[in-house]
Amino acid sequence: MRTRLDIAYLGTAFEGWQVQIREGSGPVRTVQGEIEGALELVYGRPVRIHGAGRTDAGVHASGQVAHFDLAEEAPAIPPAGLRAALNGKLPAAIRITAASEVPQSFHARRSAVSKTYLYRYRRGAFLPPHEGLVESLVREGLDVPAMSRAAASLVGRRDFGPFSVLGSDVETTVRTLFRLDVEEFGPRLLITAVGDGFLRGMVRRLAGTLRDVGRGRTSPESVLSSPGPSAEAKGLTLATVAYPEPFPPGGAGAAG
């Protein structure tokens, strides 16, 4: 049996999504590790989950997706019951928003057709205590129309290698960016990136490059050849992962 989990988390306290071992100190605290630990408590056996994307340390998610398989002899738990059981064992910074049974052909990463990331900038003198948890502060004024022109020039299918972290283990650095929007909501500046996939660190580099354009440090015409520095992790959120039919969004046990 294959089960899909829809997951939201505040990444501040975690060293990213993926389970990892730090030399000399053992396992570090990750989102995947916390969920696998909760699943082991629920089912009484180790359970490995597979996520749609490996968010880095400090990055958040409102629409991460993962799946796991269980042997036939595992106890049958209805989706809503599974969601409640896991949330009762997870830290408050991680919540299972839905659980559902899916076909064996569903794969959280390989079946995905697009992902949407949001990067939030807050313009002003300080970050508010609540929204500021998922925002990055910019004290300088920003030329938003110039940022929008630069964003439009980045949309399309191309080699985004210059926007990735060095040493990324991927077969190709070619990706399709369907949308890259810059929108103003009062003091908040929202960057929406939608693509068929993203390289490690790519969205943070895109956000940092657009910020440099807004500051006048980089021209909109030069962003493809001269990417700026990466924006900090706390402003980035994995918002949604989209799948084709027969894998509709959400699932049984979703919160109302």
| Residue 143 is among the residues annotated as catalytic for this protein | no
In this structure, what are the phi and psi dihedrals at residue 230, rounded to the nearest 5 degrees? -75, 140
Return the closest-CA partner of residue 251 out of 32, 66, 10.
Answer: 66
| Active-site residue (options: 6, 56, 143, 159) | 56
**Contact status, residue 40 vs residue 217, Cβ threshold 8 Å:** no
**Contact status, residue 61 vs residue 11, Cβ threshold 8 Å:** yes
Instruction: Kindly list the catalytic residues.
Output: 56
